[in-house]
Structure formats: structure tokens, C-alpha cells
Amino acid sequence: MKSIPLLGGLLLSSHQVLAQSDPRVASLDGFTEVPDPYYGQSPPVYPTPEGDGGVDKSWQNAYARARELVSQMTLDEKVNMTHGHEGDCVGNTPSIERLGIPKLCFADGPSGIRGQEFVSAFPAQITVGATFDRGLMKRFGEAMGMEYFRKGINVALLPVAGPLGRIARAGRNWEGFGADPYLSGAGMKAVTTGVQDQGVIVQSKHWLLNEQEYRRNPGPEGESLSSNADDRTIHELYVFPFMDSLKAGAASLMCSYQRVNNSYGCQNSKLLNGILKTELGFQGFVTSDWYAQHAGVASANAGMDLVMPNQAFWGPNLTEAVNNGSVAETRLNDMVTRILAAWYYTGQDDGYPEVAVSPYTEQHPIVDVRGDNAALIREIGAAGHILVKNVNNTLPLKKPRYLSVYGYDARLGDSPWENPARFGGGYEVNFGWNTQNGTLITGGGSGTSTPPYLISPFDAIQRRVMEDQGTVRWDFAAINPPVYANSEACLVFINGYASEAFDRLSLQDEFSDQLVKNVATNCSNTIVVIHSAGIRTVDEWIEHPNITAVVYGLLPGQETGNSIVDVLYGDISPSGRMPFTVARNESDYGHLLNSTVGSGPYPQDNFTEGLYIDYRYFDKHNITPRYEFGYGLSYSTFSYADLSVDSLGGNTNEYPTEQVPVPQGGPSDIWDVLFNVTVNIENTGDVDANEVPQLYVNIATAPARQLRGFDRVHIACGATEQVTFPVTRRDLSIWDVVAQKWKLQKGQYPIYVGASSRDIRLTGTIEV
């Protein structure tokens, strides 16, 4: 893989050997001969629906042209296009010069192009989610899309809706937008649109139920974990955000490592042929996660279209399988047609830039793709900061002349460039950052970013103190640093790391907690900033009377220092909201804290909580969190009034109107706006500020409150703004497991509008 370090080295264990000796390899549906113990079996769904463009004109045109090309390809050429090859990119498909088909370059995401120079390190998706701002989500997608486009990258391995955040300590939760399908869906839609508007193919991932790292891959102990979930939970929680991406035109999708109901994600016919390609009318292509293919015939017939990063079980064996009839040639044609249709659909046949991806070790021309994205990164970074404690308006700082800054997370790490492809650490079991590592701007693994420079919190604070003709003191190393009596505030920076390939061992660490407590003991104005790749608990010190303000910075990207200064000094009023639930005690997450360890050769992870994860779980079990989903403070105050519900008509029958073919993303009706819920919000405080009102709905037989609307609105001091939440048919529907349709129940739906999932200001009713 040239000099781009890939996760592959880690992942490629003995599983191929295991998989070959697995009796399921020979069977189409991939599970029939597996011994007990056993949970769900994945129902067989065959054959794969052939992509044909469906109802969409652009897809139809793309298919017509793709078919024309495929009809001119030899069997070997077709097989060649369904697997990865050596090349400069993380994934590469081959060119066919006589037909004008170029190589396609696949590159990691979802917070920027990994492992390249003159590219931006964007905020992680968890920070983008915390903004609760669809406009920023869209601009984030557009800016990233522009960078992938200018580097000539055809397929960007983003955005992420799985993991959703079922397990509090799961290592990759920070790669998603937050632990709620509606919030995640809004992000998926915005980024899919933003990236593909630039001509780059998105690859939404990981499909499906990829909710922990532990035993996601097979190993010496046996097969990977099987995520076992019921049909309704699968639809209402985990498929839901992917639907938004599909509806927005997602042209590819990545199947996941682990098994679902005991069948591997990339050979699970119910997930691929069934839910994705039949029920959701998917026209694009399905790529395996890297090294996630575990059988040849089974994955082909289950609906996988492209294997990465090498031929794995395909190549010559796929040719043989087509020749001996175990894989129909129409299936092979469909794989290649889908790949080329995606290429046409996004307009890549017309003047797409040359690939400009190079290893560090080779001299190469500079291709600077960043434009003015730094300004947007700073803006999103600031908007994603969540103020959770602010006693007596400690913040914003009022031109302090004397500040002290503490903690390893305030400064640049000693040697972040040791492995420049993986800034912020590699694949590591690590739940607290040690004193050498420095400020955290992203998590670890393939989703990490590669900053072109890094404005640390200390750099930006020092610059501001200089402008104010002040004095700054610092100590980044000591756990019991000196406190200066004259200092107006003590800023303590700590973090919580997480990485792909490992789940976290804790949501806090002793070093950081002790540091905070030590400073607070001697400093009556202690302000804590937390950069964390997911949840970070704070109950060790949150009630300490000298801790006057606390801000979660999450993972802001390369402009982190400027973003935190914008917030600390009140250049913007914070409006970020918790994209997950922060518990008082880790044990409050119950069985949703740790990844499932399982045992034996076929470990089982039963999603017995169904729809009740994160705040749905806390609400159901009456557990008071420290910071609930949707929580976040402002420098201003707001009052909510005048809740009204307008019925807009539309189809309120029990089921959506049948459509054949099904439009990508599901039947058109489910996206109809049936109601507009409006409220008036007045800024009753002293500063202009953004407010993030949220709409929660109680659907019969579903969790008490589910997010179904949000907005981030700028409201001038003293002014009132009207906010509208458009409520779609899907927002009110449940998945009917018998009818296999989204069902709109007749009756009354209590609704709640507030500043968080528990800070409800207004209530009302929607009547269907």
C-alpha cells in the first residue's frame, strides 16, 4: 500500500483461513451449517435486484451509458473492475483505456483526506453534529467535497452513520454525528449532498450495526461478533440515517466488518439485496470495508459489488464462479454497471481532475486543495463547542490581563509527525492522553485527519493575551502545577482519546481528573476545556465550587485554538449541544457501557434494548444524566412561546403509496411534510446569540421522546424569531414488521419543544 499506512495490517489476521474452512462459505446465505449457540438467522433474500436507474432521470441516463460500456467489456475486464488493485490511493480500481474508463481513486474520511499534504483537517463529524446546524453540515460537506475533487479523488469514504453510538465506550462513535438517528440523518443528508454536488462519490458507511470495535473482525478466537437486532430496531434506529443519505443520492455504500444475525455484513442478503437494494431502491454500488470479504460466491449473490483493497475471494475465482454458474453473469454485469453508473451519475466522465495523491516519501508537485476552508473549519469548530457550566457568567472572559493555562491538551504534542498519516495517535487503546501527546483534534484510525498546521489552544490564547497587553503563565506537564495568586482565571485543558480498532476502557482518566482537582484547590476561577472523542464523564469534579466554567470542545480540527478563543472571549456565544448523553456515573449506561465481549467461536451481541439507546434508555429507566442529549448553555437567555401546529394535508393513510420501482431512499410519501410546528423564541439576554430549539415527539409504542426537529437560529438581543420544524410522514411513522412498511398510526402525538431532551419549554399535540 505504498507509504500510506492502512488499517489492513492490523485487520488481516488469520480470518481468511478461518473463513475458508467455515462451512458457510459454500452456502449462499452464509449461515446454514453453523452450530449453536445461535440468535437470529438472517433471512435469505435472492437474487440481487439489478440496478436500472429506478425513477430518477439522472440515474436512468447514467445507467444507459454504463450499460453501453459494460456491453463492450470482456469477462476478465468485468471481473477486474470488481476488486481493488495496487495504486496510490487507499483503494484503486483499474482503468480500461480502450473504453475511456479511468482508474477510480478511493480515499479515507470522514474529517478530511487522510495522509496527504496541503489538505485540511476538518472537525470530526461528532463536532459537526454538536452544532445542530444543517447549514454548517452542508457547508462542511461542500468544503470537503471540493478538496477530494481537487485531488482527483473519485470516492470519499464518508459520511458515517454507523456506529450510531449504541455503546458509550465504542471506539468510533466520534466518526458519527451523534447518538440519535434523526440528528445523524440530517448530517448524512447534508454531507451527501454537499460532497456529491462537487462531483465526488460519497461512500456512506458502515452498513450495518457496526456498533463496537471489539471482535469486529474474525481472529484466532473465532468468527467476528454478530450484532443481532430485531427488524423494527434495525429500521427505526440504524437504517433511518442511511435513508437520508440514500434519498440525497448517495452513489455508494460500504458494508461492515461484523456479522448481523450471524451472517457477515458483506454477504448478508437481507441487508444488501433486501433492505438496501429492494426496499430502499439503491442504485449505487456496495463496497466491502477493507478486508471485510469472507466468501466469494456468497458475497456476490448477497449483493456486494466491489471488494477492497485487493481481489480477496474474487478475481479468478469470480470468473470461475461465473463460468460454472454459481454466480450469474447478469450479477457480474450488475456489479460493474452499478460502479460505472455512479461514475456517470456524478459527472466524473467529464473533465474530472487527475489524481494528485502521493506518498510522503516521493517528491511530488504541490496540489493545494484547501481554498479558504480554514475559516469554515474555525466557524464549525466554534459552533460545536458545548458550554455546560458557567457560574455567574464566568465566561465570556472580559479582557483578562493575567491568565494561567494548564494541561497537556493546551499545547502541540512533542512529536505528532512521527506518523504523519495519523495525527492524534494511531490505533491505540488509550482513554486519556499522556503529557507528551498534546492537544486532541481528531480520533485515531482510518477516520483521522492530517492537519497542514495546527493552531493549539495555547497559541491562540497567548496571541489574545498579547493583544490585551497581558501576562500568561503555563504548565503543560505537572499534575500539581503552581497557581499564581494574581491570575484572573486558570484554564485547564484535558482530553479523552478514542480510536478505531479499540473500544475505550473508561470515559475518564485519573491523571486528568487529578490535574483539574489540583488546580481547583488553589484557584477559585478554574475553567475546564475537554477535547474528547466521544463521551467524557466529569462527576469527579464537576460540583467543585472553584470550577466555574466547563466547555466540551470535542474534536474541532486544525483551527482548534482559534475556535476555543472565539468562544472563551465571547466573539461568538456558544450554542453547541450534546450529541450524546453524559452520565453521572459510567455504570448508569448499564449494558450499553462496554462492548460485548461474547465468548466462543460465534460471539453474540443481542441488541435487547431495542429502540432504547442513549437518551431513550435514560428516559425509559428514569436515570438522571449529568448532561442530557441536546444540552448546552449560551451567553444569553431565551424564552419560548406560541407553539402552533399547522396541518399541511398530504397522505395520512396508514401506509405510503406503493411505488414500483421504489425511489432511492424509500417511497416518496415518507418524505412528505405533513405538519409544520412553529414556535417563537425571544432572546431575553444581553448578547446576540444562537439558540438551538429542539422538537421531540412521542409516538405510540415508541420511546417517550424522540428528536424530530431542530434548528440553530441567530437571534439578536431583544429580538424574537419564529422557528419552523417541518415534520415528515417518516418522522411520525413506525416500522411495521408484518406489513414491512413504514406505518403512520392514527391518533394524537404529544410533542415537546425545548432547549434539550429534558429542558422542555412548550408542549402540544399533533393529531393524525
**Which sequence positions are flagged as catalytic?**
289
For 649: left if phi > 0, alpha if psi spans -120 to 50, otherwise beta; the answer is: left
- What span, in angstroms and rounded, lies between the C-alpha atoms of 438 and 395? 24
**Smallest separation, CB 595 to ligand NAG (Å):** 9
Helix (H) or strand (E) holding 183: helix 181-196
Choice from 27, 61, 606, 668 touching ligand NAG (CB under 6 A): 606
Q: Which three cell numbers stand for residue 126?
A: 461528532
CB nearer ligand NAG, residue 77 or residue 736: 77
Residue 676 near ligand NAG by CB under 6 A: yes
Question: Which residues are CB-neighbours of 735 under 8 A, at least 6 positions away?
Answer: 231, 232, 235, 236, 741, 742, 743
Residue 326 sits in the site that holds ligand NAG (CB under 6 A): yes
Tell me how far, at minimum, the Cβ of 763 lies from ligand NAG, in Å. 20
Q: Give the span between the Cα atoms of 10 and 18, in whole angstroms.
A: 16
The reply on whether position 391 binds ligand NAG by CB under 6 A is yes
By CB under 6 A, residue 40 contacts ligand NAG: yes
Piece in contact with ligand NAG (CB under 6 A), picked from 114-122, 364-372, 544-552, 573-581: 544-552
Residue 267 binds ligand NAG (CB under 6 A)? no
User: Which residue number, 80 or 373, has a Cβ lying nearer to ligand NAG?
Assistant: 80
Residue type (1 letter), 66? A
Q: Which stretch binds ligand NAG (CB under 6 A): 227-235, 380-388, 626-634, 702-710?
A: 227-235
415 residue type, one letter = S
Among 33, 368, 642, 646, binds ligand NAG (CB under 6 A): 646
Chain residues 454-493 in contact with ligand NAG, contact rule CB under 6 A: 480
Note whether 521 binds ligand NAG by CB under 6 A.
Answer: yes
Pairing of strands 201-207, 155-157: parallel
Residue 342 CB, shortest distance to ligand NAG, in Å, is 19
Cell 444543517, located at residue = 134
Among 724, 728, 740, 745, binds ligand NAG (CB under 6 A): 724
Q: Is 354 in the site for ligand NAG (CB under 6 A)?
A: no
The reply to whether 445 sits near ligand NAG by the rule CB under 6 A is: no
Decide if residue 418 touches ligand NAG (CB under 6 A): yes
146 vs 272 by CB, closer to ligand NAG: 272
Does position 212 interact with ligand NAG (CB under 6 A)? The reply is no
Among 11, 31, 42, 443, binds ligand NAG (CB under 6 A): 42
CB of 712 to ligand NAG, least distance (A): 14
**Number of chain residues interacting with ligand NAG (CB under 6 A):** 57
User: Contact between 363 and ligand NAG (CB under 6 A)?
Assistant: no
Per CB under 6 A, the list member of 70, 136, 146, 260 interacting with ligand NAG is 260
Nearest to 56 by CA among 275, 344, 265, 276: 344
Which of 117, 468, 475, 539 lies at the binding interface for ligand NAG (CB under 6 A)? 539
**Grid cell digits, residue 73:** 467489456
Which of 217, 198, 208 has its CA nearest to residue 154?
A: 198
Sheet holding 673-683, edge to edge: 638-647, 673-683, 720-728
Q: Any contact of residue 82 with ligand NAG (CB under 6 A)?
A: no
Give the C-alpha separation, 328 to 297, whole Å. Answer: 10
Residues 269-298 binding ligand NAG (CB under 6 A) are 270-271, 296-297
Does residue 408 touch ligand NAG according to CB under 6 A?
no
- On whether the CB atoms of residues 169 and 593 are closer than 8 A, the answer is yes
Measured over the CA atoms of residue 670, residue 286, residue 302 and residue 74, the dihedral's sign is positive
Task: Label residue 300 exposed, middle or buried (CB < 10 Å: 0-12, 13-18, 19+).
Answer: buried
Selection from 359, 320, 326, 311 nearest residue 90 by Cα: 359
Q: Which of 8, 39, 370, 542 binds ligand NAG (CB under 6 A)?
A: 39
Interface segment toward ligand NAG; rule CB under 6 A; list 35-43, 298-306, 398-406, 637-645:
35-43
HEC string for 13-58: CCHHHHHHHCHHHHCCCCCCCCCCCCCCCCCCCCCCCCCCCCCCHH
CA 232 to chain centre: 22
- Site for ligand NAG (CB under 6 A): which residue of 21, 361, 363, 392? 392
Contact 536, 578 (CB under 8 A): no
CA nearest neighbour of 314 among 333, 329, 294, 334:
294
- Binding residue for ligand NAG (CB under 6 A) from 222, 420, 610, 726? 726
Q: Looking at 116-124, 133-141, 313-321, 623-631, which segment touches ligand NAG (CB under 6 A)?
A: 313-321
Instruction: Between 288 and 594, name the residue whose CB sits nearer to ligand NAG.
Output: 594
In the chain the first and final C-alpha atoms are separated, in Å, by 56
**Close Cβ partners of 320 (under 8 Å, ≥ 6 residues apart):** none
List residues binding ligand NAG (CB under 6 A): 37, 39-40, 42, 76-77, 80, 85, 94, 230-231, 234, 260-261, 270-271, 296-297, 313, 317, 320-321, 324, 326, 391-392, 413-415, 418, 430, 434, 436-437, 480, 505, 518, 520-524, 539, 545-546, 548, 585, 587, 593-594, 604, 606, 646, 648, 676, 724, 726
